[in-house]
Structure 1
């Protein structure tokens, strides 16, 4: 089992980020082929993952347990972590609470290590895990998932002083692009931006440093990690997103869903209903803007 973009509290401190830290970014440019179709607000694009033509049915509450026991982790900011008072906080935590309010059902939230989430579901110690588990063919063999409620896109970043905005394959062909070696982001670059001068680095920190020093023209990587860096003091406001988001699932995964024990269709469908309602009512947008004030899209 693997998790989407790993970010510990230590990494966030290194980036100079306090959570939540509110700042607003320039709205993204038009998305290239393969990108998501977000809703663009005045300064932040909020992604929508729900088809307005497919509305889940209202759940039969008599088929649900008297309470939903959510499991999450405390090492995955800004999705789930402990705040200054030691209480669980983050985007995932707020989504879980909003779901319970929508369903008008009592919920509990337990923090467990990431590698124990599957066991917690299998052994009946938890009903649902909302912890950034990547939805993949491998995890689908172990768990059932709700509809996607978040996806971290790939993004290009450029130095502000360079004013680069066109990140089409033709425009990038003459550019040096930093990327972390051995990742899906490197594979995507080499497959679709074959003419670019791809420079592989061993760590995200090294790739970011190369961009800041002007050793490369662009940086390509995970949108959440890059947004946190851009919004923190470590970037020194050097850089900004260039172009739109890339969300090719074959490279960057299907995104996040809430995991439940296989066969628990009543709960899964109820969670899907609640997620769709949170989107329709604007609750999802409010939570997204709270935790991702500099848009990853």
Structure 2
């Protein structure tokens, strides 16, 4: 159900964005410009098989014509073009992706799998190309560019119960009044009704909502929360440990795509309201 809602929101988001939405876009930079990577030597000719899922917009999903697209998918295709590779992109069920990669049914995983110690024990990962921060959203008139969390003392914050976001509030912002709901839609309803003054949730899901036709009266407030203990290390391409040359090539391609502006162009295409 969550993925179906995200897909519907993404199809709205891919329409030409309003100027106001574009003005809020922040493109994250995950690369240290002091570190420069050499172009890898071309190896034997081969077809590189990328695996992904088709139900997690805006990173990977099936477009209106059924073709695979999304930020991760198009970044993979751009990396292939940069390296002169012949590549395919295949969709599989999300819960089968890691095993499919481990069993050799593909060469690279291009999906929103947050890196964890357990994932790193099984695979090697390229340089991070995305993170999904937590964000606070509120009504537009209440939004601030910078927000001191101490100003949230006693404020009513809606959050989905049983999530990392609820655990973060409980442990690190215990001075807020939590309004726990069963769904993100319920948290948004609490905000709109005045039962809550803020919503604390996944930044990607909130960015899709803000970019849609029904999100114009809401806005992010303050900056992103990136604590990896709660919200993960981030997302990179995953590769089997016996194929380290692919990692080196993809690291070079990702940095090159940042340098030449391709990363930013793709990011703006899929995130008219940035989760950062």
Q: Using the alignment, how far apart are the partners of 2:209 and 2:191 within structure 1?
A: 12
Distance verdict in 2 for CA 1:165–1:275, change over 3 Å: closer
Match of 1:256 among 235, 247, 257: 235
Q: CA deviation at 1:165?
A: 5.4
Over aligned residues, Cα RMSD in angstroms?
A: 2.1
**244, 260, 268: which one aligns with 1:281:** 260
Relative to the length of structure 2, the TM-score reads 0.93
Structure 1 residue 148 displacement after superposition: 0.5
Shift of the 136–230 alpha-carbon distance from structure 1 to 2, 3 Å rule, reads same
The offset of 1:21, in angstroms, is: 3.1
Distance, in Å, in 2 between the alignment partners of 1:252 and 1:47 is 16
Cα shift at 1:174: 2.6
**What's the CA shift string for 1:131-176, capped at 9, x where partnerless?**
1111111111222111110001111101124355553222100310
Matches within 5 A, 1:31-50: 43-50=24-31
* 2:160 maps to which of 180, 184, 188: 180
Distance 1:90 1:11, change over 3 A: closer
Partner in structure 2 of residue 35 of structure 1: none
**Where does residue 105 of structure 1 map in the other structure?**
85
The answer as to whether partners of 1:26 and 1:44 remain within 8 angstroms in 2 is: no
Q: Answer whether contact 2:13 2:212 (CA < 8 A) is retained.
A: no
1:94 equivalent among 74, 83, 93? 74
Q: What whole-Å deviation, never above 9, does each CA across 1:187-210 have from its counterpart, x for those lacking one?
A: 222222221111211111111110
- 1:265-280 equivalences in 2 (<5 Å): 265-280=244-259
Shift of 1:122: 2.2
CA distance in 2, matches of 1:185, 1:93: 27
The one of 12, 16, 26 aligned to 1:18: 12
CA distance in 2, matches of 1:165, 1:150: 22
Determine the structure 2 residue equivalent to 1:8: 3
Q: TM-score, normalised by structure 1?
A: 0.86
Q: Which has the higher helix share?
A: 2
